[in-house]
Amino acid sequence: MNAQELRQEISRLVGEYSRMTHRANRAGDDSGRSEFIPGQTPVPYAGRVFTEDEVQAAVGSVLDFWLTLGAEGERFERSLAEFLGVRNSLLVNSGSSANLLAISALTSPKLPRDRRLFPGDEVITVAAGFPTTVAPILQCGATAVFIDADPITGNAKCEQLQDAFCKGKTKAVMMAHALGNPFDLRTTLEFCREHQLWLLEDNCDALGCKYTMPSNSDWRQMFPKDPAQGDGSLCKYTGAWGDLSTQSFYPPHHMTLGEGGAVNVVKQSGLKVIVESFRDWGRDCWCPSGKDNTCNKRFGWQLGELPEGYDHKYIYSHLGYNLKPLDIQAAIGLKQLEKLDRFIEARKHNWIRLRRGLSELEDVLEFSLPTHAAGWDPASGFSWDSTGCRTECSWFGFKISVRPTAGFTRTELAKHLDSKLIGNRMLFGGNLLRQPAFVNLRKENPSSIRVVSDLSGSDRIMNEALFIGTYPGLSEEMIDYVITTIVTFCRGK
């Protein structure tokens, strides 16, 4: 048996092993999935969904033993950028690292001075969410300016953006699309264009969401090169509207590389070099690992106070990091990308099944709506506001808020779900300003944080909301069990 035949046999055996041992991780509609036993089989809020394809790809990459980011990484970056419709995607080791790199890139001396983020400058963000959307703002020495969140959509109240603006200080907006629900991109983009601000989209929970601008809006001035739909409107994935966007590929997200994330450079090619530099130790050289002299002048540079001809591979223009993932992860990711469209559709289907199944509980529970939706009906679906904008959600989770008059609390519902092995989570950190780290920071360094409004919506999310799963590993039997459990609990109270 030669090496190629041996490799094929290894792959065959790996596939057989995976089919035997990873049945619980197959998609909810996969006939090869493990049997669901209500009350005994856990119903996670999220998790890895994969088949033998990913395991074989990972083992194949290990056999090649390149390890650090290489050919698989390059293919994944091209494929992700093509899917989103952005100029470049750069793989990193986590979504949190992606957020750090996106903010760090704005501090680069390679940017025009009036657009550059300096210590003490301000970045507008939203109070309710995950802490690593906000932490990089503070870690880079800027001031985080918090606007409130809408307890229905979970997203920023974008009408507060103008109140948060400070001329000469505000440089950027950095917000997440909450739980796979796009924030109001039209209002945000118009605000950023008016004041010449950077827009950074935290798209970690929203891969596959779409946002549509109507034909009667002025989107064409903002996106003159983007093709219109048949009705003249503009529809793009979230993560493709701002200047930079970020992804997470941690197991609960829309697709997984184990750990991993990405920074997407939407249009400006110059930002790619800056993000890549911060990711790769801060070096000025853009040669991929294992390659030299891509610029054809490796010994022809004079930068800083270094001697002319100093090796470009060891010139550093930024105080950077080493935040690359492994090529093995990219090999897994390429297989996940092939399934992404099906994963997205499953999330939409599961959300609707939960919404219909729980519709009788509107007297005690308050349900999420997509941004720009005015209501929902079991027969006709969503109704929309007058803006003409539309959102198509790739739901990360199904958000439920317990009404103050329900007769039970959010925590009581969460504990009951736990007792029935149904995974549930808060909307991450709730009102982040109530978290110990932020309470301490406001005491020790008050100028690092500025707050707009009373944040009552964020407090409501913190006190009343939780979410359950919509991920593609859920079978219809699992979802029906979740519905029955919630209805029984609510009506029993």
CB burial of 180-209 (b: ≥16 within 10 Å; e: otherwise) equals bbbbbbbbbbbbbeeeebbbbbbbbbbbbb
Q: In the beta sheet, which residues pair with residue 235?
A: 212
Please confirm, yes or no, whether 177 is among the known catalytic residues.
Answer: no
pTM over 0.85: yes
Which tens digits make up the pLDDT trace of 144-185?
999 999 999 999 999 999 999 999 999 999 999 999 999 999
Which tens digits make up the pLDDT trace of 312-333?
989 999 999 999 999 999 999 9
Residues 28 and 476 sit within 8 Å (Cβ to Cβ): yes
CA 77, 135, 156, 226 dihedral sign is: negative
Q: Closest Cα partner for 211 from 396, 399, 372, 102?
A: 372
Bridge-based pairing of strands 397-402 and 365-367 is antiparallel
Q: What is the mean pLDDT of residues 95-109?
A: 98
Residue 94: φ, ψ to 5°: -170, 165
Quick one: pLDDT at residue 295?
79
Which tens digits make up the pLDDT trace of 397-435?
999 999 999 999 999 999 999 999 999 999 999 999 999
Residue 345: left (phi > 0), alpha (psi -120 to 50), or beta? alpha
* 220 confidence band (pLDDT: 50, 70, 90): confident
Bridge-based pairing of strands 424-425 and 465-469 is antiparallel
For residue 133, give the H/E element and its range: helix 131-139
Q: How far apart are CA 156 and CA 178, in angstroms?
A: 9
Q: In the beta sheet, which residues pair with residue 390?
A: 212
Residue 265: φ, ψ to 5°: -95, 110
Q: Closest Cα partner for 213 from 374, 387, 84?
A: 387
438 Cβ neighbours under 8 A, 6+ residues apart: 432, 449
Quick one: pLDDT at residue 493?
65
Quick one: pLDDT at residue 175?
98
Query: Which amino acid, residue 441?
Result: L
Query: Which amino acid, residue 449?
Result: I
Q: Kindly state the tokens that stand for 452.
A: 């707009």
Quick one: pLDDT at residue 291?
76
Domains of the chain by start residue, with CATH: 71-327 (3.40.640.10), 339-492 (3.90.1150.10)
Q: Closest Cα partner for 408 from 368, 361, 455, 357?
A: 361
Q: What is the mean pLDDT of residues 192-203?
A: 98
Q: Which of 22, 177, 253, 416 is flagged as catalytic?
A: 253
Q: Kindly state the tokens that stand for 102.
A: 């996106």
Residues 315 and 301 sit within 8 Å (Cβ to Cβ): yes
Which tens digits make up the pLDDT trace of 429-482?
999 999 999 999 999 999 999 999 999 999 999 999 999 999 999 999 999 999
Q: How far apart are CA 366 and CA 178, in angstroms?
A: 16
